[in-house]
Chains A and B, each alone.
Chain A
Amino acid sequence: MVDKLIAIGVSLGGLAALPTVIGGLSRDLAAACVIVQHRPADDDSELEQVLSQLCGRPIREPDHHEAISPNVIYLAPSSYHLLVDDRRFALSTEGRVLFARPSIDVFFASASECFESGVIAVCMTGASRDGALGAAQVARRGGTVLVHDPKTAESPIAPRAALELVPQARVLRLEQIATKLNELCQRGAT
């Protein structure tokens, strides 16, 4: 059973930034990893395949009620909010939050309710505040928040918003994020 969850929130600039992070992740991660990337409704761009190719690693969209497994990289499907329910993925068709569905805030908050201090939220490049409130929730429940350095992020709006609400978050350059995640999630790490 997995007790650590890496939750990556990303919107504008994601396709360019994610390969650096995902590509650098350990192949024996003692954590599940979930990417919430803003996407158009009913997105038929095959983002799963595109990202898998770009990142050099299989990435899959979970089905509703699928168990959350370690060392697997998941991508939030389009036109749903992704939630965590008793260590499984759950989906919702509620309305957009901050114009987004999937919403990063919704996933971060849901993940923190289930995994509590086991959540590592990564706030990456993005053009809206989506993710800031969720990151604050993660921090409040004892989880870790990493923020993509606004000075080098393609769109600094989301990282800045996260830092506003979680000033104690670690600010990292893109190339440093995977290393940090590996350190936090290696087997035996607390």
Chain B
Amino acid sequence: MALQVTDEARELEDIELSLLLTGIATRYGFDFRNYAQASLRRRVRHAVEQEGVSNITQLQERILRDPACMERFIANLSVHVTTMFRDPQFYCVFRARVVPMLRTYPFIRVWHAGCSTGEEVYSLAILLEEEGLYERCRLYATDISDRLLRRAATGVFPLTDMREHTLNYQRAGGTRDFSSYYHAHEGHVIFAESLRRNMVFSQHNLVSDSAFNEFQVILCRNVMIYFDATLQRRVHTLFYESLCRFGVLGVGRKETIDLIAQRNCYREIGDNARLFRKER
């Protein structure tokens, strides 16, 4: 683990980090300069280790010259190690308070912004299926990482995680046999094709891209913790513009919307589930 940082080394790291981000923005058009510093620094140090280079300058050289390395770097920045039905309480409140509202719509669009490896998308698909709503839904799952999107679209997950997923599913109010949603094969599970039918996976960059549709539900959970305040404001404006009236925004358990401009346009629903309904 790259913990050893002295004053001079830190100054040098600051310079190299700045050069790396400028280089990437110029060459590839991905601008990470408004990402939160502390977590970005950790991820870049991790990338240095993973690529087997000695410092950030060497990482930069490889990234600028090798698109495959850049793809790995983006995936590294987009990975959240998470489980299905993470924060089961969130799904309980979603079932109790959001689902009844969704029943009134003939067609439902959900946006999973920053979907990473897709656990949340499959979790919601299962919940909507159990509530008899899935047929009317389209789940748009977006991320900046093409690599992670491709993986999420396959519906393949490691078998070893299934026990934890199952426990969370039950705590989230699931009453069926969780294994009925997938079949196991050589250390992996593959989720049912019927669950993937109404999912659309596509690349979208929250830093630079604009609204692409109007949604009844937008979930962006534990994604904006990696953005600085400026970028968070931009993304919240994008979400506000993409939500229909009475649409619902869901963020992560320890994220707040207290500091955003549109704070007074939302009303929190449920208890401590970080679900907010757009009132105006």
Contacts and interface: CB of A to CB of B under 8 A. Distances in A.
Decide whether A and B are members of one complex. yes
Interface of A: 41-42, 44, 61-65, 77, 79-80, 83-86, 90-97, 101, 105, 109-110, 113-114, 133-134, 136-137, 140-141
Contacts of B38: 83-86, 90, 110, 113-114
- Tell me if B's interface is mostly helix, strand, loop or mixed: loop
Interface residues of B, number: 35
A83 B253 contact: no
A92 B35 CA distance: 12
Interface string B1-32: 10111100010000000000000000000000
Contacts of A95: 81
Interface stretch (B82-90, B138-146, B178-186, B197-205): B82-90
B4 A93 contact: no
A105 B1 contact: yes
Contact of A93 (B80, B89, B229): B80
A109 B1 CA distance: 10
Contacts of A110: 38
A133 B256 CA distance: 32
Contacts of B46: 94
Nearest to A113: B5
Interface pairs A-B: 10 shortest CB-CB: A85-B38, A95-B81, A93-B80, A83-B38, A137-B3, A109-B3, A92-B39, A91-B225, A64-B225, A93-B222
A63 B6 CA distance: 29
B229 A65 contact: yes
Contacts of A114: 38
Given A85-B38, A105-B3, A64 B89 contact: no
A179 to B, nearest CB: 30
Contact of B37 (A44, A64, A86, A141): A86
A41 B42 contact: no
Interface in B28-71: 36-39, 42-43, 46
11 contacts: A41-B83, A42-B86, A42-B87, A85-B37, A86-B37, A92-B225, A92-B226, A94-B39, A105-B1, A137-B3, A140-B4
